[in-house]
């Protein structure tokens, strides 16, 4: 019987794992190397080894209603996209509300996690930690690894011939904190991910000129979508997800292109992705197109070569007098405290069942939480992971045989390459709702809009056409929360509240769209039933 669970790390993944352990009646102990909670989201002026490091201005790219935990909405007056300090505040409120701090041993680093000699029967682990120079060994029934994957910089210097001659300054994006010291400089940012775009935009306000070099291009989206709602509330609905899964590829590609180019033409701005079908690397940035239009940032292709002061690009063009190169080239990950026979990282890849469990252990008592990059918010994702894992630990859910798990891992990987491409940066990428539903199905908490159609049509419509928020996974099954339905219906209020800082008279609306949606859902149901026959 699993009772004592070790949680490694007190970032978001660690905190939610703690909460899920408590919810399931397990006894967790969390080891956190630093002196505080929050992991990546606790900004520090310094760049510390073994810890994620963010720039001062980081704002979430997933909205508050799509990023909160399933039984605890963010405070009504919190903005929809949160500055890192505000998100940390939410995590502090969560930790206090669920009384999680008492389980955490701070400034305690995990050195090793090893199977006990009787592992085949007990499933137990021996964990060695160090605190204040003192080592200690403790036995646990199960382990949740929540150590994060934005810690080790990926710095592909070998792809930049001549870098050793370069006279200017160069560093990985994790070293970047704010604009001071970059005034009047000519700066080259390598990469076109979220961090690269943020840093290029921010520096362009002070620098003489910023260049952004990209091999493959990217779709760039605004945080602001239809009617000014957060992008993810419009993008991540079950209806939209169903369309993306069932439409023929060519139609989907065409639709994606139309959607992405609504704001500005990616072709004209030199950003168009090489493979336009792939869903990868949607960059969320409200300012990049405007910076490009103003000429403060310029897009360049891949760097072919560097000299003392010049960058030579693939297309033969050159930019001279470069002072600074920022490598926003992403991260790699490793688990220095785990044996290779437990979790093996090879070519930046791991083989984990449903991105969580090593398939080859005799007992499923070790899980990796948060080793994933969903197209939506990671917070509800790690929450469902932790809910499932704690129930597997308790034998309330069981895993299939090793061969079935291996086959699933291979299939998942093929599907990922098909959807997101082979690039190294896409190795942890997953679909959003599909993955959430997959976990929810295992736990028994997946909501079914169709079965609700007669009983609670209003809710059914919301579930299918509304944003797929985490509350949806608290409506039925284990861990049900009586506030879930109401949280779904009061969502709009919490979205608008922080914007209503100047009161205006409300106007009335006729619920025509509601009627249309009911009819639409019925049509889909009928279509589905006909197909079954």
Ligand X SMILES: Cc1cc2nc3c(=O)[nH]c(=O)nc-3n(C[C@H](O)[C@H](O)[C@H](O)COP(=O)(O)OP(=O)(O)OC[C@H]3O[C@@H](n4cnc5c(N)ncnc54)[C@H](O)[C@@H]3O)c2cc1C
Quick check: 144 binds ligand NAG (CB under 6 A)? no
* Contact status, residue 230 vs residue 224, Cβ threshold 8 Å: yes
* Contact status, residue 107 vs residue 131, Cβ threshold 8 Å: yes
DSSP three-state, residue 91:
helix
Q: What is the dihedral of CA 501, 502, 506, 509, to 10 degrees?
A: -60
- Compute the distance between CA of residue 196 and CA of residue 218 in angstroms, rounded to an integer: 12
Q: How many residues bind ligand NAG (CB under 6 A)?
A: 10
Select the binding partner of residue 179 from ligand NAG, ligand X, none (C-beta < 5 to 8 A, by kind).
Answer: none
Q: Which of 110, 199, 201, 487 binds ligand X (CB under 6 A)?
A: 110
Instruction: Give the residue with the Cβ less far from ligand X, 61 or 390.
Output: 61
Q: Which of 160, 379, 435, 471 binds ligand X (CB under 6 A)?
A: 379
Stretch that binds ligand NAG, among 151-159, 188-196, 395-403, 437-445 (CB under 6 A): 188-196
CB of 207 to ligand NAG, least distance (A): 21
Quick check: 370 binds ligand X (CB under 6 A)? yes
CB of 438 to ligand NAG, least distance (A): 18
436 bridge partner residues: none
Structure tokens at 156: 């592909």
Q: Which of 28, 33, 153, 273 binds ligand X (CB under 6 A)?
A: 33
* Contact status, residue 470 vs residue 433, Cβ threshold 8 Å: no
Select the binding partner of residue 12 from ligand NAG, ligand X, none (C-beta < 5 to 8 A, by kind).
Answer: ligand X
Q: Which of 95, 189, 210, 375 binds ligand NAG (CB under 6 A)?
A: 375
CB of 315 to ligand X, least distance (A): 30
Stretch that binds ligand NAG, among 98-106, 332-340, 371-379, 405-413 (CB under 6 A): 371-379
* Contact status, residue 255 vs residue 240, Cβ threshold 8 Å: no
Quick check: 155 binds ligand X (CB under 6 A)? no
Helices (H), 24-143: 64-67, 84-97, 119-122
> 337 Cβ partners below 8 Å, 6+ apart?
8, 110, 111, 112, 113
Return the DSSP state at 174.
G
Helices (H), 421-452: 433-443, 449-452
- Compute the distance between CA of residue 371 and CA of residue 162 in angstroms, rounded to an integer: 34
Quick check: 61 binds ligand NAG (CB under 6 A)? yes
Structure tokens at 221: 């989206």
Q: Which residue has the tokens 């050793």?
A: 164
* Contact status, residue 369 vs residue 386, Cβ threshold 8 Å: yes
Q: Which of 47, 128, 279, 378 binds ligand X (CB under 6 A)?
A: 378
Q: Which of 29, 60, 237, 491 binds ligand X (CB under 6 A)?
A: 60
Instruction: Give the residue with the Cβ less far from ligand X, 9 or 123.
Output: 9
Quick check: 491 binds ligand NAG (CB under 6 A)? no
Return the DSSP state at 270.
T
Select the binding partner of residue 213 from ligand X, ligand NAG, none (C-beta < 5 to 8 A, by kind).
Answer: none
Give contact residues for ligand NAG (rule: CB under 6 A): 61-62, 193-195, 282, 284, 373, 375-376
Give contact residues for ligand X (rule: CB under 6 A): 8-14, 31-34, 39-41, 51-52, 54, 58, 60-62, 67, 109-110, 146-148, 150, 195, 337, 370, 377-379
């Amino acid at each position: 019987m699993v009772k004592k669970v070790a949680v490694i790390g007190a970032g978001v993944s660690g905190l939610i794992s703690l909460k899920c352990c408590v919810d399931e009646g397990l006894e967790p102990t969390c080891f956190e190397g630093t002196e505080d909670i929050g992991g990546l989201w606790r900004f520090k002026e310094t760049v510390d080894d073994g810890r994620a490091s963010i720039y001062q201005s980081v704002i979430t790219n997933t909205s508050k209603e799509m990023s909160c935990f399933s039984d605890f909405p963010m405070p009504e007056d919190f903005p929809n996209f949160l500055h890192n300090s505000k998100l940390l505040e939410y995590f502090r409120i969560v930790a206090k509300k669920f009384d999680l701090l008492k389980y955490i041993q701070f400034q305690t680093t995990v050195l090793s996690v090893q199977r006990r000699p009787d592992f085949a029967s007990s499933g137990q682990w021996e964990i060695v930690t160090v605190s204040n120079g003192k080592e200690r060994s403790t036995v646990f029934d199960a382990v949740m690894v929540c150590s994060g994957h934005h810690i080790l910089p990926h710095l592909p210097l070998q792809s930049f011939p001549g870098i050793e001659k370069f006279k200017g300054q160069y560093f990985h994006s994790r070293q970047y904190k704010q604009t001071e010291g970059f005034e009047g400089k000519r700066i080259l940012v390598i990469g076109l991910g979220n961090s690269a775009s943020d840093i290029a935009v921010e520096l362009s306000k002070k620098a003489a000129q910023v260049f952004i070099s990209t091999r493959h291009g990217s779709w760039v989206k605004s945080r602001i979508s239809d009617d000014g709602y957060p992008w993810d509330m419009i993008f991540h609905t079950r209806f939209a997800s169903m369309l993306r899964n069932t439409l023929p590829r060519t139609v989907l590609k065409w639709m994606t292109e139309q959607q992405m180019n609504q704001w500005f033409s990616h072709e004209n701005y030199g950003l168009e992705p090489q493979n336009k079908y792939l869903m990868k690397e949607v960059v969320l940035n409200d300012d990049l197109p405007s910076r490009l239009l103003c000429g403060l940032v310029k897009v360049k292709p891949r760097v072919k070569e560097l000299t003392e002061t010049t960058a030579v690009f693939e297309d033969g063009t050159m930019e001279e007098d470069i002072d600074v190169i920022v490598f926003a080239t992403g991260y790699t990950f490793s688990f220095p405290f785990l044996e290779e026979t437990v979790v093996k990282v090879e070519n930046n890849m791991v083989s984990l069942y449903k991105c969580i469990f090593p398939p080859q252990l005799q007992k499923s008592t070790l899980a990796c939480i948060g080793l994933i990059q969903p197209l939506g918010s990671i917070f509800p994702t790690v929450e469902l992971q932790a809910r499932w894992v704690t129930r597997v630990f308790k034998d309330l859910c069981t895993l299939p045989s090793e061969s079935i798990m291996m086959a699933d891992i291979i299939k998942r990987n093929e599907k990922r390459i098909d959807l997101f491409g082979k690039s190294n940066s896409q190795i942890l990428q997953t679909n959003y709702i599909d993955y959430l539903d997959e976990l929810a199905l295992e736990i028994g908490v997946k909501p079914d809009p169709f079965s609700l159609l007669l009983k609670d049509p209003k809710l059914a419509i919301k579930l299918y056409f509304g944003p797929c928020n985490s509350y949806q996974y608290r409506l039925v099954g284990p861990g049900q929360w009586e506030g879930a339905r109401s949280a779904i219906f009061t969502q709009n209020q919490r979205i608008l509240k922080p914007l209503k800082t100047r009161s205006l008279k409300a106007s009335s609306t006729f619920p025509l769209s509601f009627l249309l949606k009911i009819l639409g859902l019925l049509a889909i149901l009928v279509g589905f039933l006909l197909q079954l026959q």
